[in-house]
Amino acid sequence: MTLLPQRPRLGFFVSHRGSNMRAIVSACKAGGLNAEPAVLISNNRNSAALVWAAENDLAHIHLSPKSVSSEEALDQAHLDALLNANVDLIILAGYMRKIGTKVLSAFSNRILNIHPALLPMYGGQGMYGSRVHKAVIANRETESGVTVHLVDDDYDTGAVVGQAKVPVLPADTPEDLAARVLAQEHLFFSEMLIRIVSGEINLDDLG
Ligand code: GAR
């Protein structure tokens, strides 16, 4: 893969709320993260993320299996949207589908995901959102956390870029833990991106 430019253009994939995307866009606007939000792609036409993008002048596109003829066509439509927006780095921030093979090979080692637990624990298909936090509490873990990792063709199995730990308190409900982890996600994803953009972390050494 070619080197990242000094100010990479970010392509976001988000399915629902988009609070991680908003935190990253804020870090770009505040100047701490030298990157350019370029486009948001969502599979959910009613997502809060799409509404926010429309209100905040971020290019956005709804693409779902229902809006095209096949998974292959969806993969190609994703690739076209990313190339049209000159995206350098893809950010999965609460995206609940797999990325297709065309995008994976065109953006090898250039797709990052955030997961609300310490992978490889509490990952894999079906492990997302509150299910993760319920499982962590059910197993009486004393710590959980956040993982930023490269994306491959399976769920949550790509090389880990970085992890941050978060305590699990004895009285935590899944909602309490989710809120504590999410607050850490909002800081940690931008921190990882700052280190990637500065060259301190080389994604090609990990993938
Ligand atoms: C985040 O907690 C993220 O880690 C999780 O979905 C939430 C999205 O929140 N992702 C997964 O569980 C992926 N397996 P957001 O839309 O407000 O950023």
Confidence of residue 2 (pLDDT cuts 50, 70, 90): confident
- Tell whether 99 and 126 lie within a shared domain: no
**Do 32 and 61 lie in a common domain?**
yes
Q: How far apart are CA 12 and CA 92, in angstroms?
A: 6
Rounded CA-CA distance 81/102 in Å is: 12
In the structure, which protein residues have their CB atom closer than 6 angstroms to any atom of ligand 1? 14, 16-20, 93-94, 114-116, 128-129, 182, 185
97 lies in some domain: yes
- Ligand 1 pocket mutation pick from 19, 133, 144 by most atoms within 8 angstroms of CB: 19
Residue 153 lies inside a defined structural domain of this protein: no
| 52 or 129, higher pLDDT | 52
| The pLDDT of residue 67 | 86
- Ligand 1: centre distance to CA 98 (Å): 14
Please determine, for residue 148, whether its predicted confidence score (pLDDT) is greater than 80. Answer: yes
Tell me what pLDDT residue 78 has.
98
First to last CA, the chain: 11
Q: Residue 99: is its pLDDT beyond 80?
A: yes
Report pLDDT digits (tens) over 42-87. Answer: 999 999 999 999 999 999 999 999 889 899 999 999 999 999 999 9
Are residues 60 and 128 part of one domain?
no
Pocket test for ligand 1, best of 125, 185, 187, 188 (most atoms within 8 A of CB): 185
Domain harbouring 71, CATH code: 3.40.50.170
- Asked if 22 and 103 sit in the same domain, the reply is yes
pLDDT of residue 14: 98
- The reply to whether 2 falls in a domain is no
Report if residue 1 sits inside a domain.
no
Same domain, 66 and 128: no
Does residue 81 share a domain with residue 101? yes
- Closest C-alpha to ligand 1, atom 6: 94
What's the total number of domains in the chain?
A: 2
> Is residue 60 annotated as part of the catalytic site, yes or no?
no
Choosing from 115, 133, 149, 186, the catalytic residue is 115
Specify the higher pLDDT residue, 66 or 119. 119
39 is in which domain, residue-wise?
Answer: 7-108
Tell me what pLDDT residue 47 has: 98
Mean pLDDT value across the chain: 97
Q: What's the gap in Å between 114 CA and the centre of ligand 1? A: 7
Judged against a pLDDT cut of 90, whether residue 102 lies above it is answered with yes
Tell me what percent of the chain is helix, strand and coil, each rounded to the nearest 5.
40, 20, 40
> Which structure tokens are listed for 50?
């799409």
Q: Looking at residue 1, what is its pLDDT?
A: 62
> Looking at residue 85, what DSSP letter applies?
T
pLDDT in tens, 14-30: 999 999 999 999 999 99
- Whether 165 and 197 map to the same domain: the answer is yes
Q: Are residues 17 and 75 in the same domain?
A: yes
Q: Is the pLDDT of residue 150 over 80?
A: yes
Whether 58 and 130 share a structural domain: no
Burial class (CB in 10 A: 0-12, 13-18, 19+), 55: exposed
Average of per-residue pLDDT across 146-153: 97
Measured distance CA(70)–CA(184) in Å, rounded: 37
The contacts of residue 78 (CB under 8 Å, 6+ apart) are 41, 63, 99, 100, 102, 103
